[in-house]
Amino acid sequence: MRMDPRFLRTFVTVARVESFSDAARELGYTQSAVSQHVAALESDLGTALLQRRPVAPTEAGERLLEHAHAILLRLDSARADVVRLAAGPPGRLTLGATPLAASLSVPAAVAAACAALPRLDVTVRVADRDTVAIGVATGALDAGLVDGIAAPGDGLRLPDTGLPVAAFAEAPLAVALPDGHPLAGRAGLRLEDLVDARWIEAPGVTAPLAEIAMLARAEGFRAALRYEGSDVGGLLALVAAGHGLALLPARVLAGAGVALVEPRLVHRTELLRGSEAGAALRL
């Protein structure tokens, strides 16, 4: 046997929807076919991958799931990459961007693109980081601008698609504080002085606290509040109202925040180029 990607796709779907029947409907197969796909994988690998009733991955299944996701993504990425190269530059440019990248970097990037290719029809689509990366990889987007927090010179942790990281910008970070906060007005802050502070978890805008904690090699960051929006304004309003702090690029705080001096972390923006048209973008 050979771990046919179709079987892997079926397996992943079954694990996601936790039902053979629903997976069959979603994929346009019969229950029987789905059952045979899973059985083929299990007999090939010599292990049970799923428990039935309720449907749940076994330990081996969990392992395979991770690999299967990566494999299927890379397979889609390969197809998109090659057909894009063959198709040549498209007339329209669909650009994906994370929210902060959209407000900080997209305007300049689009201006550069329009200057380089005057007759270019541009669409900007905002989504979270992985969605943008996957979109660029699979061809739904021609390019992507994603941002995140990283050590200076380090790349962002993105799903492995083999995409070239073509350009990037690094900018200083600052802590957003409410007016009258005891630390406001300081010249610079160290993150460790703020482990016991109230933070706002806003994964749609800035990096999750767990990721920041890992980068800072610190522990104990607690979220006082979770903000699921993806706009900076809403988050800043919560900070101003004293509900907690947030770590953001200094630029969006317009001088109102206090610079982060330790650990050395930066706000990093990366350009993921899918099609050649993405080359017209500059940061």
Partner DNA sequence: GATCATTACGAGCCGCGTAATCATT
Partner DNA sequence: AATGATTACGCGGCTCGTAATGATC
Q: Which of 11, 13, 15, 20 binds DNA (CB under 7 A)?
A: 20
Give the Cα separation of 203 and 128 in Å (integer): 9
Q: Which amino acid is at 166?
A: A
Q: Which of 16, 30, 56, 228 binds DNA (CB under 7 A)?
A: 30
Q: Does 31 bind a copy of itself (CB under 8 A)?
A: no
Q: Which of 16, 52, 190, 264 binds DNA (CB under 7 A)?
A: 52
Give the Cα separation of 104 and 169 in Å (integer): 11
Segment near a copy of itself (CB under 8 A); pick from 32-40, 41-49, 96-104, 235-243: 41-49
Q: Which of 18, 121, 130, 160 binds a copy of itself (CB under 8 A)?
A: 160
Q: Which of 107, 162, 188, 233 binds a copy of itself (CB under 8 A)?
A: 162
Q: Which of 153, 188, 229, 233 binds a copy of itself (CB under 8 A)?
A: 153
Closer residue to DNA in complex, CB, 11/199: 11
Give the Cα separation of 181 and 61 in Å (integer): 50
The DSSP output letter for 142 is S
Q: Which of 10, 13, 35, 77 binds a copy of itself (CB under 8 A)?
A: 77
Distances (CA, A) of 240 to 190, 228, 246: 20, 17, 10
Q: Does 107 bind a copy of itself (CB under 8 A)?
A: no
Give the Cα separation of 275 and 260 in Å (integer): 36
| Residue 19 contacts which entry, a copy of itself, DNA, none (Cβ below 5-8 A, type-dependent) | DNA
- The per-residue DSSP string of 36-102 comes to HHHHHHHHHHTS--EETTTTEE-HHHHHHHHHHHHHHHHHHHHHHHHHHHHH---SEEEEEE-HHHH
Closer residue to DNA in complex, CB, 49/271: 49
Scanning residues 236 to 255, which ones bind DNA (CB under 7 A)?
none
Q: Does 75 bind a copy of itself (CB under 8 A)?
A: yes
With vertex at residue 269, the alpha carbon angle to CA 271 and CA 265, rounded to the nearest 5 degrees, is 150
| Residue 217 contacts which entry, DNA, a copy of itself, none (Cβ below 5-8 A, type-dependent) | a copy of itself
Give the Cα separation of 54 and 59 in Å (integer): 15
Closer residue to DNA in complex, CB, 20/199: 20
111, containing H or E segment: helix 106-116
The per-residue b/e assignment along 241-252, b for 16 or more CB within 10 angstroms, e otherwise, is: eebbbbbbbbbb
Q: Which residues pair with 167 in a beta bridge?
A: 271
Contact 275, 143 (CB under 8 A): yes
| Residue 131 contacts which entry, DNA, a copy of itself, none (Cβ below 5-8 A, type-dependent) | none
Residues near a copy of itself (CB under 8 A), total: 34
- The footprint of a copy of itself (CB under 8 A) covers 2-6, 45-47, 49, 59-60, 63-64, 66-68, 70-71, 74-75, 77-79, 81-83, 85-86, 151, 153-154, 160, 162, 217
- The footprint of DNA (CB under 7 A) covers 1-2, 4, 6, 19-21, 28-33, 35-40, 52-55
